[in-house]
Amino acid sequence: MKDNVKVGLLGLGTVGTGVVKMIQQHQDQLVHQVGCAVSIEKILVRNLDKPRDIDLDSRFLTTDPYEVVNNPEIDLVVEVMGGIDETRQYIIDALQAKKHVVTANKDLMALYGSELQKVAADHGCDLFYEASVAGGIPIIKGLADGLASDRIQTIMGIVNGTTNYILTKMNKDGLSYEAALKEAQELGFAEADPTADVEGLDAARKMAILARLAFSMDIDLEDVSVSGISQVSKEDLKYGSTLGYTMKLIGYADQEESRAEVSVQPTFLSHNHPLASVNDEYNAVYVYGEAVGETMFYGPGAGSLPTATSIVSDVVAVVKNMRLGVNGRSVFQPQYEKQLKKADERFAKYFIRLHMRDEIGAFSELTKLFSTYSISFEKILQLPLDEKEAAEIVIVTHKASLENYRSVLEKMKDLDVVKSVESFYRVEGDGAK
């Protein structure tokens, strides 16, 4: 039995610094939990001379990644450097060198998670990635361990704090999208280039990871249909609120009869939905299991210490497995062949806002189109526009297939009575009665 497990870090940014601080400051607790010391052996950095908010001797630092990856003293590699292709190779090399790996890299796990899990299994190593989704929220362990005996049917997640902050400010304070984004950038919640967040790619990567684990299928990033929030307007939110809905960027994964669908899109949630009250930069993941029913995981989705907490929890899990001699046995392997729902098998309610000619028979033409595709109306708002002989129509449909919904959107462009389709979104829940 080892009396000191040695850790190497790839990266010493905000999260890496949090990991080092936790290992240094929580040593008594770590020894109590795992029965041995856990210490930092070597850390990869870009600049050896950079001032750092941490008490660390320079002999622990290196600019050569292979002083970590190939170091015979190191038992476990923590990857917090980000990046994809180069980082993927470092992790493969570490696993092939019989080193366990803990990563916070959602981009890498979304794209190459299945490959890396196989390499880990082939070499008897652990590969844990709790911090790759929702920061400090233990959703990966929740699915892999806490709900392992259940059959997960649906996951809905607010898994991007940037977009949730922006939509909260638009909803609560009446800010425009542009103003809310600027405020998020000033506060450090959004990057200078926010594209990955606001266009839904960051959330899509996380949903691919969650769906792969929850449904035990090899879900790829390309299987996730994605749209972002950059086109959401204050008018959309106003009408949604009138009808009893709150807008969130929702990652959605569902399976029925071993056929799955995964998406990320702006979604109107009924005000009484558990996710509707999750505001600002917070994350939450709603899970519906066949046996357990509804559960929800809530907490900070990012930040140095919340994310570091998840990473160090994975470190503890690795060390416990080392003490028991069971490393590599919990590596995820998909149980089922991937089968994705077709468009005629995916059902939802939809919000559609359009401008129409305000004339006799106009609404009848619209109704006829929807009826042709077996889509009925649950709620309707009609409001006059400043433009002469024009009206704004807001519709919430009953559940309809994605195939028929897309057909209606396309055919509406050909109706003379429809001046423009302003916006359209998925709807979850019943809204105001």
332 occurs within a structural domain = no
**Cα–Cα distance for residue pair 301/282, rounded to 1 Å:** 6
CATH assignment at residue 253: 3.30.360.10
The Cα-based distances of 271 to 284, 325, 428 in angstroms read 16, 49, 10
142 occurs within a structural domain = no
176's CB contacts (< 8 A; 6+ apart) are 170, 233, 234
Q: Residue 180: pLDDT above 70?
A: yes
336 occurs within a structural domain = no
282 and 347 share one domain: no
CATH assignment at residue 318: 3.40.50.720
98 occurs within a structural domain = yes
- Res 140: pLDDT: 92
**Cα–Cα distance for residue pair 102/120, rounded to 1 Å:** 11
Residue 133, φ and ψ in degrees, nearest 5: -130, 125
**Residue 89: which domain range?**
4-135+304-324
230 occurs within a structural domain = yes
Q: How many CA atoms lie within 13 A of 407 on its CB side?
A: 14
Residue with tokens 């929580």: 26
Q: Is 86 helix (H, G, I), strand (E, B) or coil?
A: helix
- Write the DSSP symbol of residue 192: S
pLDDT per residue as tens digits for the range 394-431: 999 999 999 999 999 999 988 999 999 999 999 998 87
- Res 286: pLDDT: 96
- Res 283: pLDDT: 95
Which alpha helices (DSSP H) does 273-389 contain, by range?
304-324, 362-372
Higher pLDDT, 360 or 41: 41
Q: Residue 233: pLDDT above 90?
A: yes
Q: At 254, which helix (H) or strand (E)?
A: strand 245-256
pLDDT per residue as tens digits for the range 65-109: 999 999 999 999 999 999 999 999 999 999 999 999 999 999 999
309 and 196 share one domain: no
Q: 25, 9, 4, 8: which is closest to 305 by C-alpha?
A: 25
119 and 183 share one domain: no
308 and 288 share one domain: no
221's CB contacts (< 8 A; 6+ apart) are 110, 111, 204, 205, 208
Q: Are 226 and 220 in contact (CB under 8 A)?
A: no
- Which residue among 293, 315, 333 closes a domain? 293
The Cα-based distances of 234 to 93, 158, 170, 190, 400 in angstroms read 50, 20, 7, 20, 26
383 occurs within a structural domain = yes
161 and 187 share one domain: yes
66 and 44 share one domain: yes
Could you tell me the two tokens for 225?
């249909």
229's CB contacts (< 8 A; 6+ apart) are 163, 166, 167, 177, 198, 200, 249, 266
351 and 311 share one domain: no
330 occurs within a structural domain = no
Active-site residues, by number, are: 206
- Number of domains, the chain: 3
Q: Is 223 helix (H, G, I), strand (E, B) or coil?
A: helix
277 and 166 share one domain: yes
129 and 220 share one domain: no
333 occurs within a structural domain = no
- Res 1: pLDDT: 65
174 and 94 share one domain: no
- Res 432: pLDDT: 64
CATH assignment at residue 404: 3.30.70.260
pLDDT per residue as tens digits for the range 283-319: 999 999 999 999 999 988 777 788 899 999 999 999 9
Bridge partners (DSSP) listed for residue 127: 101
Q: 173, 185, 189: which is closest to 237 by C-alpha?
A: 173
**Cα–Cα distance for residue pair 330/321, rounded to 1 Å:** 10
105 and 211 share one domain: no
187 and 249 share one domain: yes
Q: How many CB atoms lie within 10 A of CB 389?
A: 11
Could you tell me the two tokens for 133?
């989704």
**Cα–Cα distance for residue pair 353/331, rounded to 1 Å:** 47
